């Protein structure tokens, strides 16, 4: 177990990167606390797998250092870093039994057979695969295969960090939540640092204590799931997390006040921004009211538990989540924003102060 520090990390897949665009990772500085459950969340191609491979040692960074408990491991190969990684597609050794698969990382390190047997039994019990130990791993279903690859990571008790690279991609939807809760339970039992890479917000928010959101090779925000939801530091986070994402509305600041058309929108707190900016409000905090901003209903989508109402205010489209009766498309309505949840963003970054 160890604290993992990434210091001034940069990576480019090109031989001679020149502009910032050439970097898959732009200047990452980050501490992963020992024993934490982290999720690395971002759209495909944002650099999260690159970051993961740098931590595991499969890739060495163009610049910067990776420290495990302040020990520089930047140039160490993966097998000397004591890490474990679970890949997108289950990696198992087809010709071996489940037992041999789980024992493989231990045997390769010269662990005695007694110790191997007790560790494998313990992990198999934890993963609920004890009854499969003697079967050939090749015949297992994808979710069991993925369990075995997780098991190979957890079987060593000295792992610094277990990394999951979108591990539920090939798992059937109805088994996903099962494996996900299994993972959460495993984290509590083994107390190892875990980093979970995904582009699925549900997976990230349910698994992690801390979510690291990435975009275009940069970290945009680190926070608890609640923080990410309630107060996105960047419009990207607001948009990426939530279903539907945050409404981002262009606005013009006049005398420290935000306007949408001719309507003044009260913000959560004071701001120093002038000129063009953006108002951010989650659909959960937009209500249909008797009075307020006049809008026209464009489309209503019933998603089961609630309805999403998409309406137009001038050019801007605003989504609202409501329960109960819904207006018809084309009908005029009034919208009101919950003041404490109305944020202001300038050039993408949050610019309003939180209300006390």
Partner 1 sequence: MKTQNQKAWFFVLPVLVLVAFNALIPMMTVVNYSVQETFGDNLFFWEGLGWFEQILRSDRFHAALGRQFMFTGLILLIEIPLGVIIALSMPRSGFWVSICLVTMALPMLIPWNVVGAMWNIFTLPDIGLLGYLMNTTLGINYDMTQSPFAAWATIITMDVWHWTSLVVLLSYAGLVSIPDAYYQAAKIDGASPWKVFRYVQLPKMKQVLTIAILLRFMDSFNIYTEPFVLTGGGPGNSTTLLSIDLVKIALGQFDLGPAAAMSLIYFAITLLVSWLFYTLMTKDDQK
Q: Please give the structure tokens belonging to residue 110.
A: 């010269």
What track of x and - describes contact with partner 1 for positions 242 through 261 (by CB under 8 A)? --------------------
Stretch that binds partner 1, among 35-43, 92-100, 222-230, 238-246 (CB under 8 A): 92-100
Which lies closer to partner 1 via its Cβ, residue 36 or residue 153? 153
* Burial (0-12, 13-18, 19+ Cβ within 10 Å), 206: middle
Q: Should residue 170 be labelled a site residue for partner 1 when binding is judged by CB under 8 A? A: no
Closest distance of CB 63 from partner 1, Å: 23
Do 89 and 145 touch, CB atoms closer than 8 A? Answer: no
Closest distance of CB 30 from partner 1, Å: 21
d(CA 252, CA 248): 13
How is 188-216 classified by DSSP, letter by letter? HHH--EEEEEES-HHHHHHH-SEEEEEET
Closest distance of CB 273 from partner 1, Å: 46
Do 258 and 290 touch, CB atoms closer than 8 A? Answer: no
The neighbouring-strand residues paired with 334 are: 289, 294
d(CA 207, CA 197): 10
Q: What is the dihedral of CA 181, 182, 185, 191, to 10 degrees?
A: -120
Reduced to 3 states (helix: H, G, I; strand: E, B; else coil), residue 302 is strand
Which lies closer to partner 1 via its Cβ, residue 110 or residue 324? 110
Q: Should residue 78 be labelled a site residue for partner 1 when binding is judged by CB under 8 A? A: yes
Do 185 and 207 touch, CB atoms closer than 8 A? Answer: no
Which lies closer to partner 1 via its Cβ, residue 98 or residue 205? 98
Which lies closer to partner 1 via its Cβ, residue 148 or residue 228? 148
Which of 1, 58, 133, 316 binds partner 1 (CB under 8 A)? It is: 58
Which of 152, 187, 282, 343 binds partner 1 (CB under 8 A)? It is: 152
Which of 4, 9, 54, 84 binds partner 1 (CB under 8 A)? It is: 84
Q: Number of residues in contact with partner 1, rule: CB under 8 A?
A: 25
Q: Should residue 108 be labelled a site residue for partner 1 when binding is judged by CB under 8 A? A: yes
Which of 3, 136, 182, 184 binds partner 1 (CB under 8 A)? It is: 136
Which lies closer to partner 1 via its Cβ, residue 108 or residue 355? 108
Which of 40, 54, 83, 120 binds partner 1 (CB under 8 A)? It is: 83
Cα–Cα distances (Å) from 44 to 47, 76, 196, 199, in that order, read 8, 27, 14, 7
Stretch that binds partner 1, among 79-87, 124-132, 205-213, 326-334 (CB under 8 A): 79-87
Q: Should residue 149 be labelled a site residue for partner 1 when binding is judged by CB under 8 A? A: yes
Quote the distance between the C-alpha of residue 257 and its chain's center. 34
Q: Should residue 111 be labelled a site residue for partner 1 when binding is judged by CB under 8 A? A: no
Closest distance of CB 55 from partner 1, Å: 12
The angle subtended at Cα 83 by Cα 176 and Cα 57, nearest 5°, is: 105
Q: Please give the structure tokens belonging to residue 60.
A: 């060495």
Which of 12, 49, 85, 215 binds partner 1 (CB under 8 A)? It is: 85
Do 287 and 318 touch, CB atoms closer than 8 A? Answer: no
Chain residues that interact with partner 1, rule: CB under 8 A? 56, 58, 77-79, 83-85, 87-89, 91, 93-96, 104-105, 108-109, 136, 139, 149, 152-153
């Amino acid at each position: 177990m160890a604290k993992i520090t990434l210091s001034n990390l940069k990576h480019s897949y090109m031989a001679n990167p020149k502009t910032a665009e050439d970097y898959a990772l732009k200047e990452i500085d980050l501490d992963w606390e020992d024993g934490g459950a982290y999720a690395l969340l971002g759209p495909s191609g944002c650099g999260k797998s690159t970051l993961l491979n740098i931590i595991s040692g499969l890739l060495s960074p163009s610049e910067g250092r990776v420290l495990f408990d302040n020990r520089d491991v930047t140039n160490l190969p993966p097998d000397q870093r004591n890490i474990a990684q679970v890949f997108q597609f289950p990696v198992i050794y087809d010709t071996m039994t489940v037992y041999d698969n789980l024992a493989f990382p231990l045997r390769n390190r010269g662990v005695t057979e007694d110790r191997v047997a007790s560790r494998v039994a313990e992990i198999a019990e934890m993963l609920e695969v004890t009854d499969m130990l003697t079967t050939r791993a090749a015949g297992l279903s994808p979710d069991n295969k993925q369990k075995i690859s997780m098991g190979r990571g957890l079987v060593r008790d000295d792992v610094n960090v277990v990394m999951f690279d979108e591990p539920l991609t090939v798992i059937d939807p109805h088994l996903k939540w099962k494996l996900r809760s299994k993972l959460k339970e495993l984290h509590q039992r083994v107390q190892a640092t875990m980093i979970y890479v995904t582009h699925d917000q549900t997976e990230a928010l349910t698994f992690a204590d801390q979510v690291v959101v990435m975009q275009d090779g940069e970290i945009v925000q680190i926070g608890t799931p609640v923080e990410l939801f309630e107060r996105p530091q960047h419009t990207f986070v607001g948009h990426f997390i939530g279903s539907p994402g945050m409404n981002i509305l262009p606005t013009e600041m006049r005398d420290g006040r935000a306007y949408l058309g001719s309507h003044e929108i009260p913000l959560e707190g004071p701001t120093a921004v002038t000129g063009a900016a953006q108002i951010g409000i989650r659909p959960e905090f937009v209500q249909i009211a008797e009075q307020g901003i006049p809008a026209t209903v464009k489309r209503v989508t019933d998603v089961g538990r609630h309805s999403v109402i998409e309406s137009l205010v001038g050019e801007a489209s605003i989504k609202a989540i409501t329960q109960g009766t819904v207006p018809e498309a084309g009908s005029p309505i009034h919208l009101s924003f919950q003041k404490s949840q109305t944020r202001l963003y300038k050039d993408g970054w949050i610019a309003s102060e939180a209300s006390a």
